[in-house]
Homo-oligomer: A and B are copies of this chain.
Amino acid sequence: MSIKRIDGGVCAPKGFKAAGMHCGVRKNHSKKDIAMIFCDVPCTAAAVYTQNKVYGAPITVTRKNISDGRAQAVICNSGNANTANLDGVEKAQMMSDLTAKALGIKSEDIIVASTGVIGQSLDMEPIAYGISELPKLLSVDGGNDAAQAIMTTDTKVKEIAIETEIGGKKVRFGAISKGSGMIHPNMATMLSFITSDVAISHEMLQKALREIIKDTYNMISVDGDTSTNDMVSVMASGLAENDEITTEGEDYKKVVAALMEIGLYMAKMIAGDGEGATRLLECRLTGAKDIPSAKVIAKSVIASSLVKAAMFGADANCGRVLCAMGYSGEDFDPSGVAVWFESAAGSIKVCEQGCGLKFDEEFAKKVLLEKEIVIKIEMAEGSGFATAWGCDLTYDYVKINGDYRT
């Protein structure tokens, strides 16, 4: 069964409309700052949230709203995270109530999200204005506007739509995401809203989401910081009219495969668009003791400031890779490690049996000057494997985060 990439985003599956606009949370009038996604019918819903102990007020409200496994709309602003302020939960609840009223649905069916500066009070006036206007703008062509409206320091709009067949029916999945800074492997590390018209139970949808998260969104690191506000949610309308998936059979596996496709695409998009990034880094690790160990080591490599800075400088420094593996906390035999740097320009082996090799520096530079770099690692511990994504550490990362609020 094949998965086909199609045009569009969250509005590709049956039943969904979306919109994005500038409401005034941000000063810059040309930057959209509020997004709405709406489904004609109530959806089965699932979500995973940040593991940060300090989490945003919207997380509190969303977790409560979709605890019954049901949702019908998403409301999300950028520019202010509505976190670490005195009246955050109250205002997140207000966003939910206003959205429900504007759409004529229940407040418990709203997914509320905010992203932006932490620790400042959210001005409700522009939010209320936005929520009153958005329903008029909702359309099946509005996905891209919604994707734009949730961006913060992202430089690229992140949306995807795919089509597959489940239970003899054409089923679609769509998604929009925002990423950039504060991205680190720890459950739901950014905002991603996934839609589908598949018919599936809440339990199976939540299970499928958890399953793919650990190999996709949770394998990204931009700067090692786990944000307070991040979540990945899925709404499934059931309008594809396949037999409702309630067990882990073939159909369930197809849902997992589709969500995996979306997750992998977004993981790479988010990592490659990390704040100030000029390169997407992919660490492909094999031969670890087991899969959890492989994940920890691959993430340690991708998260190392020294590895990231070396990649920015196109410096084939295998010592940085070995060092980051070594402090991952996992036990292994360094003398069983081999390392390659790979890209569209070729492949170069820089380490064998834990020792640095002499290599053609000029060719290495050529390999590392490409936009997408693979750090391939072979270990001699067992059959554990993992892939993690990150980006280089650049002057612009420092610049962007040196003066984020002003």
Residue numbers of A with Cβ under 8 A of B are 51-55, 81, 83-86, 117-121, 181-182, 184, 186, 223-228, 303-306, 309-310, 312-313, 315, 317-320, 322-328, 330-332, 334, 350-351, 353-356, 361, 393-395, 397-406
Contact = CB atoms under 8 A, between A and B. Distances in A.
A333 to B, nearest CB: 9
Given A52-B327, A312-B398, A351 B306 contact: no
B354 A54 contact: yes
Given A310-B401, A397-B309, A402-B315, A323 B227 contact: yes
Nearest to A297: B53
A356 B309 CA distance: 33
Contacts of A53: 325-328, 330-332, 334
A121 B319 CA distance: 12
Given A52-B323, A84-B334, A327-B51, A315 B355 contact: no
B403 A118 contact: no
B323 A118 contact: yes
22 contacts: A53-B326, A53-B328, A53-B334, A54-B322, A54-B326, A84-B319, A84-B334, A85-B355, A118-B323, A119-B350, A120-B356, A225-B306, A225-B323, A227-B323, A228-B323, A305-B305, A310-B404, A315-B403, A315-B405, A395-B395, A395-B398, A395-B399
Contact of A304 (B117, B224, B313, B402): B224
B402 A310 contact: yes
Closest 8 CB pairs of A and B: A119-B356, A118-B319, A313-B402, A54-B326, A309-B401, A52-B326, A226-B327, A313-B403
A354 B317 contact: no
A55 B400 CA distance: 35
B402 A309 contact: yes
Contacts of A323: 52, 54, 118, 182, 225-228
B182 A225 contact: no
Nearest to A399: B395
A293 to B, nearest CB: 12
Query: Which of the listed residues A186, A394, A395 has the most CB atoms from chain B within 10 Å of its own CB?
Result: A395
A373 to B, nearest CB: 14
